[in-house]
Amino acid sequence: MADPYRTGPGTWTLRRAATNPTAPPPARLLRVPGAGPQQLHRGMTLVATISLFIGTRAAWTNAMATRPAVAGVISVCYASILVCAVLSLLVRSRRALIRVDAVVLVTAVALVVCGYLLDHAGTDEGVLTAQAANEILHGRPVYGQPWPWLFGTPNVGITKTMSGGADYTYGYPPLTALLAAPVHAVVHSTAAATLITTAALLISSVLLWFLLPAPWRSAATAVCLGFGLLPHYAYAGYPAITALALLVPVVVRWPATGEGGRLGSGGVLRAACLGAACAAQQLAWFLAPFLLIGLYAVRRGELGSRRALAVTARYTATAALTCAAVNAYFAVEDFSAWLQGVLLPLDQKAILHGQGLMGISYYFTDGSGRLDYYSYGSQLLLVGLLVATLLFVRRLGPALTVLPWIAFYLATRSQDGYFLMMTPLWLAAAATVPAAAFATAWQPRLPHVTGRAKVVLAGGLLAPALVCVAIAAASPPPLRMSLSPHFAAHHARVGVTAIEVRAVNTTGTALTPHFASRTGQGASNWWTIASGPAVLPPHGSAEYHVKPAGGFRALPRGHGPGIYLIAVTGTPMTITTAHIPTAPSAIQ
């Protein structure tokens, strides 16, 4: 019989346990660090597994009422989630945990496919892209063509402009529409666009999973598919998802691009992907200059200025030619309409929306007569961040994929989609671009600028943007409005049928006001000006009789902040907000 006290390596002898129960195992008998899965890797896998629960119940509930077979698949996914959670804590080898990561990814893909089967009608972005694909199929112009009949349903919103109108045209580069065109030939609906964006998200998620180091792979699953954020943008048909998919291979280990002075096939492919991303959606435009600055700095530290400039120029030229090739047909067809279309989101002066600093003037004060300064601040911040990246690339390089989106926080359109749709790129850089990659990167020499002086210089680069924001936020509203609302009851709801507005222009500029109502965030459709001048002269006053769209605007229920009337102008960009009194005695 074997001696129970004789044991091999890796176990703790019974004799030692009996004689000194509190003594730790000998160091030589402990598991060698790194031999099995690291605890951080287990944690990443577990977090990704948990993230798959988000939104799954709502999808299952919807599927049970409409597509029971899909609900059955979701139920199987629940079982997979539970099994993966157990295995992520129990498996003993790295290879086994990587297999669990793969199962988590497959489960996430299955849930996204189920979500697409339940919701693929798309929003305004998907509807516009599908219509553009249809126009391409029939050889008709895409840019500069209004399609008002596409809007008006609950899930297809309209982007209203500060000039009192709305945009009904296609305002994105053409790549997503080009990819959707052959699908539209078969599907004949908005699903052609949403299928492309959903497929792009799935492909980019799987690609990122393979490109990342093993401990980070499940984090990619969580960020791309698990939290339920990006899939909904894909179901909506956002062209930005196509751009994201193309930017993934660009960002992963990007400091290695052009190493040794040669782009090679990998560098050319990355440059082509960057150009294609710029031809898919405008968000890629903001990342491109940061990447080029970072690439030049890293290569110059390795190769010197001339060779670094040469490899960066080849990279840039390849990206530019790819982007130009995608856009060429549309630019030749009608250059002016194409240019206005791809620049539309940058100069359309859309109505305020988002979670950024513009909310000071939109939600928390009575308005501002200098909303344009938010845009100036956003532009100056972008320039300041680019200069700071050039000057301090060794310090800022690891965050290069995050920096471009900070500028949107100051813009008049600062919704969260501008930030979160590119978050997989943040993860890709965190996992594959360490700070050590910038240790020898070139930086301009700044004599006598050290320590606190660097902080002061960096603050000076950002100060003009903050000054612009302060001007916009502190500026008073241009109009002084007093309201006399008319109320009525309709289908057991009390609402506003018209408002008498006395408006005084307190500025020295002629203003053309347009009216809408607001409860919480977002604005209603434009109200009709039944009487009153179109243009309010400087320091002039006028009486306006305005009516809500449809002739009735129901008052909000409960004890919220109430309902507001806003008056906006496009040139200059201004907003004035006045609370609509809702005292019961005022109801007529």
Distances from the Cα of 71 to the Cα of 122, 438, 555, angstroms:
21, 49, 38
Q: Encoding tokens for residue 508? A: 């020295």
Query: Given this model, what pLDDT does residue 559 score?
Result: 64
DSSP 8-state assignment for residue 31:
P
**pLDDT tens string 266-286:** 999 999 999 999 999 999 999
Query: Given this model, what pLDDT does residue 377 score?
Result: 97
Which amino acid appears at position 180 of this protein? A
pLDDT along the chain (588 residues), means of 10: 40 43 47 65 96 94 95 97 96 95 98 95 93 96 94 83 93 97 94 96 97 96 93 96 97 96 95 98 97 97 95 98 97 96 91 93 95 96 96 94 95 91 96 95 83 84 95 97 91 88 96 93 91 96 94 80 92 95 56
Residue 93 and residue 222: Cα distance in Å, rounded?
Answer: 22
Which amino acid appears at position 560 of this protein? G
Query: Given this model, what pLDDT does residue 297 score?
Result: 97
Which amino acid appears at position 188 of this protein? H
Phi, psi for 367 (deg, rounded to 5)? 130, -170
Query: Given this model, what pLDDT does residue 343 score?
Result: 95
* Vertex 104: Cα angle to 98 and 108 (nearest 5): 145
Residue showing tokens 């305020």 = 352
Query: Given this model, what pLDDT does residue 15 score?
Result: 41
* Vertex 193: Cα angle to 188 and 195 (nearest 5): 95
Query: Given this model, what pLDDT does residue 17 score?
Result: 44
> Is the CB of residue 554 less than 8 Å from the CB of residue 567?
no
Residue 303 and residue 5: Cα distance in Å, rounded?
Answer: 63
Alpha-carbon torsion (270, 275, 277, 282), positive or negative: positive
Residue 144 and residue 129: Cα distance in Å, rounded?
Answer: 14
* Vertex 117: Cα angle to 111 and 120 (nearest 5): 115
Residue showing tokens 């791309």 = 224
Query: Given this model, what pLDDT does residue 494 score?
Result: 86
Q: CB 66: neighbour CB atoms within 10 A? A: 11
Query: Given this model, what pLDDT does residue 586 score?
Result: 44
Query: Given this model, what pLDDT does residue 33 score?
Result: 47
Query: Given this model, what pLDDT does residue 491 score?
Result: 76
